[in-house]
Structure 1
Amino acid sequence: MARLFGTDGVRGLANKDITAELALDLSVAVAHEMGGQGAFGGKRATAVVGRDPRASGEFLSSAVMAGFASAGVDVLDAGVLPTPAIAYLVSRMSAEMGAMLSASHNAMPDNGLKFFARGGHKLADEIEDRISERLGGEWERPTGAAVGRIRPFPRGAEFYIDHLLTSVPGRLDGLRIVIDAAHGAASAVGPEAFRRAGATVDVIGGDPDGLNINDGAGSTHLEHLQEAVRLRGADMGVAFDGDADRCLAVDANGEEIDGDQIMAILAVAMHERGQLHDDTLVATVMSNLGLIQAMEREGITVVQTAVGDRYVLEEMRAKGYSLGGEQSGHVILLDHGTTGDGVLTALALAQRVVSSGTPLHELAGVMKRLPQVLINVKGVDKTRVEGDEGVQAEVARVTEELGADGRVLLRKSGTEPVVRVMVEADTQERAQGFADALAAVVKERLAL
């Protein structure tokens, strides 16, 4: 049986894969697993629930809140807020659990459910598995005064903005920035946080109507932000995804600043201030080799994990590291949040520009991105990739030829008969050539 939870909650087509019935049943199971009625010395448990603006979130969040309340959990309905805001509010309100309805950067027809434990932390795999096992089980339903109560929680947005401005206290006076909110969850709180910090803010993608989330906007469509920054003469631009747990940036020339470059800029800044724990940055194996080389020059160690911000977070929490993230723009500032936070990342990046008096494109020059080619080789037996002598011999040959100027990475897809071949090299031509050669060997040797 396929696992219900993916790498970031449960996600699929709303009202087909992600139904009101599933949302209700999952929240009941979460309530029972995370505490539920009377599990905290007789104190009734509390859950914070939020969503992004997509239309399906209206009925799905109602189902989640109904499930919690039916299991005897009081609910604070935070409404439309970013995923990291809900994580923060779970901690701020000392709630036992939280839920976020969002499919992140996916198109509007999709939706998903993410759950948080006490402190605003994502659930461990084993807890998710126990929740799945509870679905459809028999349980004693509370009645009368024992049922949970659902209350609006409009103060949540103010609490979150205050948290952002406290976490990044530097002023942004004199900075002109364009924000692309992806018609998503940060459409209101993102620009407001920047305005309160003193920046002059232009907003695109800031008019959610329930149907337009991520539609030609946000971090997956940077071309609109690039054009807006150039036309408006802004100092920089930032783009969020639908639930604002990631951030990418654009410099004054309209050039993209990806997650690796953002992490490099923030790592150097924190290193200078003595705030980078153990002088270590946590990234994934997909981060560009240029990031690792740049950090070595700056006296910063890079620890790499499997792909997925949850694995970055696990490593950070285990060792107490303060900064980590992914090339995609999921950046975790663990001293201030328990998950990737696009608005927090954007504020920290903008504050570095202002405090240093250095344009963003110059700050990004701390690292040089090596050309990177990724080929998805389909229709292969991915289980044999590590043990096939021919594939491994080709990996060794390419690795030797690249030397210190590049690297090779083979990854198995988690859901498809696909092997992902990634090659980085000092030139685009060499990266493409080596990737094509290696992909051909993988296809030939592992064909189904």
Structure 2
Amino acid sequence: MGKYFGTDGVRGTYGDTLMNTGFAYRLGSALGRYLAASKRNAMLNAVIGRDTRMSGPNLVDALVQGLNKHGVHVHDLGIVPTPAVAQSVLEQLSDVGIAVTASHNPAQDNGIKLFNSKGCKLTVVEEDALEKLVDAESDSLDDRPLAKSYPLDGAAFYINYLSSLMDQGCLCGWKIVLDLANGATCETSPAVFRRWGAELILIGDNPDGENINKGVGSECPQALCQAVREHKANLGVAHDGDGDRLVVCDEKGELVDGDVLLGIFGLYALKSGALRNNTLVATIQSNLGLDHALRQAGGRVERVDVGDRNVARKMRSLDVNIGGESSGHIIFSDFATTGDGLLAAVKLVELMCKTRKPLSQLRREITLFPQKTLNLKVAEKRPLDTLKKLPRAMEKLEAEFGESGRLLVRYSGTEPKLRLLVEAEDPKVVTKALKSLEKAARADLEVIDS
């Protein structure tokens, strides 16, 4: 991770040293300078959208001021899901797209996500270059022009595109619970499902600037499950604050694991010949049951580091059209350049219609392996390849597992912790292997027991 950019843009508590209007102005100016250097003497265009946080308009204005300083023409999409920003980049032939959002974080936080002219998230190299430019910028009020942007109904573009993926009225007789997290999807997701004729029960659909993700949304799906049971709905769908991922529950009100969802998409695409190169892209966090299910059907899983940007990049390099994370970021690259919670829900409903199977039945086709994890607080995060006993223990276990088990050993990116994960078909093997890893880790590292 860089000085400002994390795994998914810049994020922090609004008003702190990182997430404030001064920083947003410097980032906007740095971005404008970066674009001007790459496209000399050309007209520069940007699109910008936000979620429902109270701090959003101030950050948008500051970003626009910074962009305007370098002659960048800005279209303001208003409140739209993050994937709508990526789509608008392509619709408007823009040079950059900006989403002002902190995703599933609480209302006091905010953030900035950037998309390039192809609707893809920036590379680490591009972010590093921007960080250097940000540090060279001044946030003096004297230097700032008046913010000038042009309104554009980004929600309408997005709604029309998503609703075109299935026939009008195709969900007549369906009852669906939507939890909109009081966030960016409050207008878009209901509009799409209503066009298909579904009866909707809405949760988290009254944003007030301070209640985004508060007890609702993908991080808090309890109300979703309860509403599905109470209303005898066909499906429950919960978004996060910016709508780039989803959590679903079946008609019985039972949550469906994100890896199961990803596996269902991969398996049915593979069976129908629609999964390009017979490959599904997932992250190192995904369950080994995913690999097992795809392998039995004649496909494979390719793994990358955590982050939907990494998933998308690997998908492009392998020419693969479905990938995602267990958190609910799912990418269908034939239809979108980035993770899209509403699109994933659409593809799930489409699959349920085609197979005529309820989700409670579809989910049984992916069996996840037993998994155990352990976090050890350490005095020092010494490089794993410099340790003695832990690498040997890992090598021994991996040889014993073959394709029937998996282990993951890594340090937390934000805390002084060593994370241990073990998966295997036999839960007793999992328990024994985790104890073996813990013993080796304690022999190599100073572990702080609380």
Which TM-score band (shorter chain)? over 0.9
Q: After superposition, what is the alpha-carbon deviation per residue over 1:404-433, rounded to whole angstroms, capped at 9, x for unaligned?
A: 543211122223332210111335565345
Quote the residue 2:228 is aligned against. 229
Q: CA deviation at 1:80?
A: 0.9
TM-score normalized by the length of structure 1? 0.92
Q: Is the contact made by 2:64 and 2:147 (CA closer than 8 Å) also made in structure 1?
A: no
Q: CA deviation at 1:191?
A: 1.4
Partner residue in 1 for 2:159: 161
What residue in structure 1 maps to residue 8 of structure 2? 8
Superposed CA deviations along residues 41-79 of structure 1, whole A, max 9, x for unmatched, are 744211111111111112111111121122211111111
1:55 is paired with a residue whose SS is coil
Q: How does 1:41-440 map to 2 (within 5 A)?
A: 42-137=41-136, 149-153=148-152, 155-168=153-166, 171-399=170-398, 402=401, 404-426=403-425, 428=427, 430-440=429-439
The letter of the residue matching 1:19 is: N
Tell me if the contact between 1:83 and 1:243 (Cα under 8 Å) persists in the aligned partners: yes
The residue identity in structure 2 corresponding to 1:439 is E
* Distance across 1 between alignment mates of 2:270 and 2:198: 25
SS in 2 for 1:74: strand
Write out per-residue CA displacement over residues 205-245 of structure 1, whole angstroms, 9 at most, x where no aligned residue: 11111111111111111211111111110111111111111
Assess if the C-alpha contact under 8 Å between 1:378 and 1:419 holds in 2: yes
Q: Is the 8 A contact 2:96 2:116 kept in 1?
A: yes
How far apart are the structure 2 equivalents of 1:380 and 1:428?
31
Question: Which runs of no fewer than 5 residues in structure 2 stay unpaired?
Answer: 139-144
Cα deviation, 1:18-53, whole Å, max 9, x if unaligned, reads 0100001001111111237xx657442111111111
Identity %: 38
Q: Does residue 22 of structure 1 match 2:20? A: no
SS of the aligned residue for 1:317 comes to: helix
Whole-Å separation in 1 of the counterparts to 2:264 and 2:166 = 15
In structure 1, give the amino acid aligned to 2:30: A
Contact kept in structure 2, 1:380 and 1:443, CA below 8 Å: no
* 2:141 corresponds to: none
- C-alpha deviation, 1:289, in angstroms: 0.8
Q: Given the two structures, how large is their TM-score scaled by the length of structure 2? A: 0.92
Task: Give, in whole Å, the separation in 1 of the partners of 2:216 and 2:439.
Answer: 36
Q: Per-residue deviation at 1:181?
A: 1.1
Matched length: 440
Distance in 1 between residues matched to 2:207 and 2:33, nearest whole Å: 34
| 8 A Cα contact 2:389 2:444, kept in partner | yes
Aligned AA (1:52): D
- Unaligned runs of 5+ residues in structure 1 are 140-145
Letter in 1 for 2:179: D
Separation (CA, whole Å) in 1 of partners of 2:147 and 2:44: 9
Instruction: Kindly indicate whether the alpha-carbon contact (under 8 Å) linking 1:81 and 1:185 is maintained by their aligned counterparts in 2.
Output: yes
